[in-house]
Structure 1
Amino acid sequence: MAIDPKDPFEEDDDDENREEGFDPEEYFNEMDEEDYKEAEEEVKNERKRLKEMPLYKSAVNIRRLTTSLAETINEEDDTLMMKDQMLLNAYLLGPKLAGAEAADLYTLRMENAVLIKIHARELLTQTSFCKAEKLSKPEYLKLLRDEIENFRILFVEWVKSFDKENDIKDDWGLFYD
């Protein structure tokens, strides 16, 4: 008979399980004002670097184009809520890209890259649906499709830049030979 592992959220006496001399309050409050300023500066620099990336700029363009295009869709004709689905896909590109850039490990970057690809491809498919159902003007859809193609080209180069050697295998079997 298998024994259930201990529930980490189950209440018990933490003092009994704590390493002797370990004080979590002291451990988590070791940062001084200088450490906070340094951390804030790192975050600021990382944000700036991300915003200057051509791929991120393209993701922003896709979001803006999709938002504008979505405003032209008549909600009565949009029985499948395509507008909402398109906005969701467009709005997730930037945060997933930021997540991939923040993660230095190959597997984490690839996981985010796969999600980015899925959202971009879904958005591309949704433009075809909108064209077929005449939910938006073809010229608006073409603008978005062209930007998605630009994004795809930049995306391929970005993924090639990932360092496969910088990783810790995660036992899920993805992205390994």
Structure 2
Amino acid sequence: MMKKWEKLPVFKKAMEIQKLVDHIVESVEKTDIDFEHDIEAEMLKNNISYMRENSLIIPAKIAGVADEDMLFDIKMENAAIIRKSARELITDARGIQMHGFKDVEYLDLLRNEIEEFRILFAEWVKTFDCWNYIIDRWGLFNPPGVNYDDIDPDDNIPFNPDDFEEF
């Protein structure tokens, strides 16, 4: 049985991107690219390693916050990581191309897939319930009008232990 998050269009697109990145990495690894310096080979190796890592982060983070009851700041924090990973895939693709990878149609396909993902992602983020929150004391992911130094209304609930009976 499919999990709820596996049905999300943004998750499905993330998995397509992950598979495409796997194919690109395999293709780059099978390509003979001549380098003048060893550092260039190391840089290309790092590019493909980062690509693989970023492609795995995206669906994992989507699945991790797909629960509707998840707090807004946690969802937004993961959304920021997803966006960063997707943008880094573009940067990594540029790096691979700069190092002499000739099959640029695969890289163009990746860029197009990420653009499609970006739209699905933006629509998905709009579904986050910004009023299911606790105050983000770091000030990054609070709902509109809520500040990091606001008083938490839950802190003002008086507690009197004498109000409870002992059993």
TM-score range, shorter chain: 0.7 to 0.9
Query: Could you tell me the TM-score, scaled by structure 2's length?
Result: 0.73
Q: Choose the corresponding residue for 2:6, options 51, 57, 60.
A: 51
Match runs of 1:63-74 below 5 Å:
63-74=18-29
Query: Does the alignment pair 1:79 with 2:34?
Result: no
Taking structure 1 as the reference length, what is the TM-score of the superposition?
Answer: 0.69
Distance 2:102 2:92 in 1: 11
Match in the other structure for 1:91: 56
Q: RMSD in angstroms over aligned alpha carbons?
A: 1.8
Contact 2:48 2:96 in 1 (8 A): no
Structure 2 counterpart SS, 1:91:
helix
Between the aligned residues of both structures, percent identity stands at 38
Q: In 1, distance between residues paired with 2:102 and 2:57?
A: 22
Q: Which residue does the alignment assign to 2:108?
A: 142
Number of matched residues?
Answer: 132
The one of 56, 66, 70 aligned to 1:104: 70
Matching of residues 1-177 of structure 1 within 5 Å: 48-74=3-29, 77=33, 78-80=41-43, 81-102=46-67, 104-176=70-142, 177=145
Unaligned runs of 5+ in 2: 34-40, 146-167
Partners of 1:130 and 1:114 lie apart in 2 by: 24
Deviation at 1:168, TM superposition (A): 0.8
Taking the aligned partners of 1:122 and 1:136, their CA distance within structure 2 comes to 20
Q: After the TM superposition, which of the residue ranges 101-110 and 50-59 deviates more from structure 2?
A: 101-110
Find runs of 4+ consecutive structure 1 residues off by over 6 angstroms: none
Whether contact under 8 Å (2:6, 2:63) holds in the other structure is no
8 A Cα contact 1:96 1:116, kept in partner: yes
Deviation at 1:49, TM superposition (A): 1.4
Q: CA deviation at 1:74?
A: 3.6
Q: What is the match of residue 156 of structure 2?
A: none
Structure 1, unaligned runs of 5 or more: 1-43
Amino acid of the residue matched to residue 5 of structure 2? L
In 1, Cα distance between equivalents of 2:140 and 2:29 = 42
Deviation at 1:136, TM superposition (A): 4.8
